[in-house]
Amino acid sequence: MPELPEVETVRRGLAPAMEGARIERLELNRPDLRFPLPADLSQAATGRRILSLGRRAKYLLIDLEDDLTIVAHLGMSGSFRIEDGVVGDFHHARSKDAKHDHVVFHLQRETGPVRVIYNDPRRFGFMHLWKRSELDLYPAFAELGPEPTGNALDETYLAARLGKKSQPLKGALLDQTVVAGLGNIYVCEALWRSHLSPKRAAGTLVTKTGRPKKELLLLTTAIREVIADAIAAGGSSLRDHIQTDGSLGYFQHSFSVYDQEGKPCRTPGCGGMVTRITQAGRSTFYCPRCQR
């Protein structure tokens, strides 16, 4: 499933084509994806201008005129592509099968018409219609923690959230109420960068008086840096993820531990080997020698 950097990459790819454009028609080629599409989605969107594209955690936000937002999730295999002959022609055959083109935004820009197509072979994605002024009440957003890209995420905040947790550190970081948008890949990478074991109890990074230890400062910095690096690389193209122009993300070529089982640890002088274990039904990759 696409993680935060992949969704942010999609947002940045779509923004030049969609922001400021007017929706001439919203074509729905089926009544549902993972969930039924809103019955009034096409009617509500048609004729309205797209004000901006945003993101909350792993959700794409398409802000329209008149206080409306389309909340979109890519699911396992969802992707957008842009077709107009000029901007971002889709040039990879994968996910261009028209039978999986479920939602088509027919847009009008000053430079001419543009089509933005949502393609989803597995149909695990979804779209909802919500009032922009009430996004805090959207069920998936109600208890989300701060973004790893914003100033709200710091070691003091994490100390308050992790101080009393005895669960393994990796599981605590995957909790979306602690940090929004962190997924399996980037938690593994951030823990390696900060030399912390995914099995370590989360509360051991906080003093008895509730203050962050040095290790927590290193972890906070690692989280922010690994997300920034992944966004800069266009995300990680694993399985179905592709960018809006059809190109692939490249951060997977920089993985230090994720999916690197049996390879030497990249920490200088470590000499350990990357190991895979299972935590809460998910694969965890780490170096037992230098991650403590």
Q: CA-CA distance, 196 to 219, in Å (whole number)?
A: 8
Residue 22 counted as domain residue? yes
Q: In this structure, are 159 and 96 located in the same domain?
A: no
- 117 and 205 co-located in one domain: no
238: its two tokens = 């694993």
Find the helix or strand (DSSP H, E) in which 277 lies.
strand 275-279
Residue 139's Cβ-count burial label (10 Å; 0-12, 13-18, 19+) is exposed
179 and 257 housed in the same domain: yes
Residue 84 pLDDT level (bands cut at 50, 70, 90) = confident
Instruction: Tell me the average pLDDT across 140-164.
Output: 94
Q: Which residues pair with 243 in a beta bridge?
A: none
The first and second tokens of residue 288, run together, are 């037992």
Distance of CA 178 to the CA centre of its chain: 15
**Three-point CA angle 64, 65, 68, nearest 5°:** 55
Concatenating the DSSP letter of every residue in 88-114 gives -B---STT--GGGEEEEEEEEETTEEE
Q: Do 207 and 251 belong to one domain? A: yes
Same domain, 175 and 282: yes
Query: Are 203 and 119 in the same domain?
Result: no
Q: Minimal CA–CA distance to 15: which of 242, 236, 181, 243?
A: 243
pLDDT band at 97 (very low <50, low <70, confident <90, very high): confident
Q: For residue 209, give both structure tokens.
A: 């008086």
Query: For 231-262, what is each residue's pLDDT tens digit?
Result: 887 655 444 444 445 544 445 547 899 999 99
pTM of the model: 0.88
Amino acid at 194: S
CATH number at residue 73: 3.20.190.10
Q: Could you give the CA distance from residue 94 to residue 85 in angstroms, rounded to a whole number?
A: 19
Q: Could you read off the pLDDT of 63-81 as tens digits, one per residue?
A: 999 999 999 999 988 999 9
Angle at 27 between CA 24 and CA 28, to 5 degrees: 150
CATH number, domain of 277, equals 1.10.8.50
Are residues 185 and 73 part of one domain? no
Whether 265 shows a pLDDT value over 80: the answer reads: yes
Q: Which tokens in the block code for residue 185?
A: 């890949």
180 and 75 inside one domain: no
246 in the same domain as 196: yes
Enter the tokens of residue 173: 């970081």
**Is 251 a domain residue?**
yes
Same domain, 175 and 121: no
In single-letter form, the type of residue at position 218 comes to L
When mean pLDDT is compared over 139-143, 179-183, 191-195, the highest value belongs to 191-195
List, edge to edge, every strand of the sheet that includes 126-131.
Answer: 50-56, 59-64, 68-73, 126-131
Boundary of a domain, candidates 107, 137, 167: 137
Residues recognised as catalytic: 2-3, 58, 282
Residues 125 and 193 in one domain: no
Could you tell me if residue 149 is inside a domain? no
Q: Are the CB atoms for 52 and 24 separated by under 8 Å? A: no
Mean pLDDT for the stretch of residues 161-178: 96
At 150, the amino acid letter reads G
Helices marked H in the chain: 4-18, 41-45, 155-162, 169-174, 184-193, 214-232
Residue range(s) defining the domain that contains residue 218 = 155-286
Are residues 185 and 237 located together in one domain of the fold? yes
